[in-house]
Structure 1
């Protein structure tokens, strides 16, 4: 662990305002994610308020220009966050001699081992036993275990006293201890703001009857509507070049979307599920497509559900058919795999983290999936999700994640009106930043959209907002009428669709060739834009990129 100048500046600010005696530390690197030592914790220390914890989190993210890692927290902040997390912490474990790379190698190489490695399982049992030692009642001992994920070498458990935490914090078999801290709970009290009632990103479900032809949309044969913004990325030209029912539309490419689910009332995407067919999804110009749904967040199994509307809207942006009705998806020939991984767009707490990580693993293990699109994020980094994403990357998946919304800050007790930095996991930098590509939205004049985050870890930008605020077309939760959706969410879904258009030209291509084409046929092929990365992609030129070399 090393001391960072940025952390020292933050420490001085927090000390002067909150009277803390903290030393702020940061990890030497993302791939050496060791836990901050807790040996000096005072059992009589002050429990900080949520407002104080949130202030530290946001000042740290602003200083470092990245998401918050609990390894950045001082001793008193970490324990205070555990207290405010209903005592829930997610713990990652490992063999004593392993570093983070060894752990991820094990996860990748042993993902199908249902029985697990005996030595690894014993390490977990020993840790849980240590955590249970201070509890007398047998029932309570059993209840402190919230959930376990042997595949990703982690579990969630309750810790009730600081001595218990100290007993494992210095263990060489611990990778991380992350409080399940709820940023939604109001500062200075314990009254929780219900996440499901927060509607973060939700509400994109009502049909729009006021949309204007040749302004909000363009009519196309055989019917239906194309987004006004497609022209900025040459999407229709790519369809035409490849043949509207053959290549150039994502045919043969599987796209997994991790979001809030899929509405059973959206005819373009789900009608026919109960009868075991997908006739409306396949009613367009491209036939014999696959659409599958999996609920990793709740208990609906393969029965479509989306109480939010966000996942349904973005699924339509990606994959709605080119038919006589509704909107046309960017990759209207692709196969769609929809994973319900949350109830809104903010990843927060045990249930969210578990669902998102499990969705990444499921998509990674689905051979037909080539691209993963996720328009959700978090101010704080989750090591379990990061491990699952690295696993998916190593399985050959091309992953896009939303850069985030500036509104995230105001959602958290209204303390911070704007969030200036790209959120997790779009800001992951493993594998030279290629593990995840962060996407943001821009206006027609190449400025960030109203709520879109920009910054150093953004990789691509997608036009999705007109100067007067008009947003991109999407599918609503019900019926065949179009609606609109904005932010980096729709930009990410659009980018995933563009990648499918390029990959669909030759489904045998490796991921690296597709990424190269996207980068080279962007506005900034050498990634020289400091806030938009490679910038806007020309889908047609990316599709044709290797033609000069004998066929792409």
Structure 2
């Protein structure tokens, strides 16, 4: 038996070595590039081709484009490239790939040969958990050779920016509109008394919570013992309710942890993060609506007011464009995946195109049993034509959108809808007001809307359900939420299972 096993292993290793050897015998001489493709497309031309596909309500993936398109995007994106590798399309986890070191070395050797540079001049980063590397690639021949390899899952430009105004020469391609609506703002706003109800000990329960029976659900669950991760722009370090007073009023015995994984630099090789503080304001709002304490200070309460909170400053704003934002989000997901105390992840950020390294990060966290909620999309004038955005369109995520306060389902003015949506949250009043939250500043309130607040609200409801049923799996929690939502068992083409009913979900 032992001899047979050894023989099988030897044959397997030989097959792998033969496959790899065959793959890497590609030479520059064997690659022919048409004369018309020896000059890269401009940034505007690349964007136009991307938008052409998105305009048709299609999911854009760099893997479906030509070698020339990928290389052109690299040329317009600091030549930074992410390469995902593995023994199959789903082989993203290094811990489950016994030959990941060998495959990585083979890749770096090939790139070094084609680029004519030592590996030290090529490699920016090798992810410790995922089968991917970030490298510098200048030659189109290298791109072609890499995409021919059977063990390469994807080759993507890592720093090509759809929101780079400086490259936007074609005014018909209004990519600057994404950047102009970043979702940021540190201002406060007086909360109208019609938009909340005072609950003990002296907290403001937002009007929208009552539309989903959240206050009634608090008689059964407050999220106690559940860890909820928020991947966003960070969380305020000056609002006491998200810091020293996180345990205040009826919120007790819980923890808040803040991490910073975003590098605020134009240089991809920079590694110093800019800390945990929210310099945008968006992340603070999301953390507040999901987990703010049931306080005695007269400020808005969160859905799961006794859940533990873990926040990540992973990006500067809600549009995940550029190397450091995408890398930050990937790092946040892998870290949360490895955090045994976190069961739920909420992210109200995204992009109109897919990003391989973020896909890997999401799948890594999902493989660890996390329940992941992502915003379906909140439109700018640029993105109104897009359906459910990335990564909410992924099978591993639960997409959430927002609707208006009405007797019939009506998408909020800027909310995306579509077949991938699972849940909808009522978050826009006839008055135009949205959901009250805690401001970035202490003892002040604000309003927040869109699919962003809908996502964080739904994540909070999931925490209530899981806390009530601590032995349940992610799939059981999700099934209960679906089964007790307004439209179940029929899934609407635009609004999913509709509005979750927190009370029914925890009974």
Q: What is the TM-score when the length of structure 1 is the normalising length?
A: 0.79
Q: Distance in 2 between the 1:390 and 1:526 partners?
A: 27
Partner of 1:362: 335
- Tell whether 2:287 aligns with 1:287: no
Q: Distance in 1 between the 2:216 and 2:207 partners?
A: 14
The total of aligned residue pairs comes to 463
- Tell whether 2:397 aligns with 1:436: yes
Closer, same or farther in 2 for the Cα pair 1:127/1:417, shift >3 Å? closer
- Tell whether 2:472 aligns with 1:491: no
Partner of 2:187: 206
Cα pair 1:108 1:391 within 8 Å, conserved: no
Partner of 2:296: 324
Q: Could you report, residue by residue, the CA deviation over 1:44-76 in whole angstroms, capped at 9, with x for unpaired residues?
A: 41532333322222231343x343100221343
Partner of 2:123: 145
- 1:189: Cα distance to partner? 5.2
Partner of 1:21: none
2:414 pairs with 451, 471, 474, which one?
Answer: 451
1:343 pairs with 316, 319, 325, which one?
Answer: 316
Q: Distance in 1 between the 2:284 and 2:422 partners?
A: 25
- Tell whether 2:197 aligns with 1:232: no
1:308 pairs with 264, 280, 302, which one?
Answer: 280
Q: Distance in 2 between the 1:283 and 1:269 partners?
A: 10
Q: Distance in 2 between the 1:403 and 1:212 partners?
A: 28
Partner of 2:445: 482
Q: Distance in 1 between the 2:357 and 2:405 partners?
A: 37
Partner of 1:22: none
Partner of 2:154: 176
Partner of 2:100: 120
Cα pair 2:350 2:375 within 8 Å, conserved: yes
Q: Which runs of 5+ in 1 are unaligned?
A: 1-37, 111-116, 243-247, 272-279, 411-415, 430-434, 545-552
- Tell whether 2:458 aligns with 1:467: no
Cα pair 2:423 2:500 within 8 Å, conserved: yes
Cα pair 1:199 1:344 within 8 Å, conserved: no
- 1:188: Cα distance to partner? 5.0
Closer, same or farther in 2 for the Cα pair 1:109/1:135, shift >3 Å? closer
Q: What is the TM-score when the length of structure 2 is the normalising length?
A: 0.85
Cα pair 1:405 1:419 within 8 Å, conserved: no
Cα pair 2:261 2:275 within 8 Å, conserved: no
Cα pair 1:156 1:350 within 8 Å, conserved: no
Partner of 1:17: none
Closer, same or farther in 2 for the Cα pair 1:194/1:528, shift >3 Å? closer
- 1:134: Cα distance to partner? 4.7
Partner of 1:51: 44
1:392 pairs with 365, 369, 386, which one?
Answer: 365
Cα pair 1:41 1:75 within 8 Å, conserved: no
2:88 pairs with 69, 88, 99, which one?
Answer: 99
Secondary structure of 1:67 counterpart? coil
- Tell whether 2:343 aligns with 1:380: no
Q: Which runs of 5+ in 2 are unaligned?
A: 1-29, 264-270
Closer, same or farther in 2 for the Cα pair 1:304/1:179, shift >3 Å? closer
1:132 pairs with 112, 116, 140, which one?
Answer: 112
Cα pair 2:88 2:151 within 8 Å, conserved: no
Q: Could you report, residue by residue, the CA deviation over 1:182-233 in whole angstroms, capped at 9, with x for unpaired residues?
A: 101234559xx99998561111x32212x221x1222222112111111110
- 1:169: Cα distance to partner? 2.4
- 1:361: Cα distance to partner? 1.2
Secondary structure of 1:133 counterpart? helix
- Tell whether 2:38 aligns with 1:82: no
Q: Distance in 1 between the 2:147 and 2:35 partners?
A: 15
1:514 pairs with 474, 477, 490, which one?
Answer: 477
Closer, same or farther in 2 for the Cα pair 1:300/1:168, shift >3 Å? closer
- 1:120: Cα distance to partner? 2.1
- Tell whether 2:235 aligns with 1:253: no
Secondary structure of 1:504 counterpart? helix
- 1:476: Cα distance to partner? 1.3
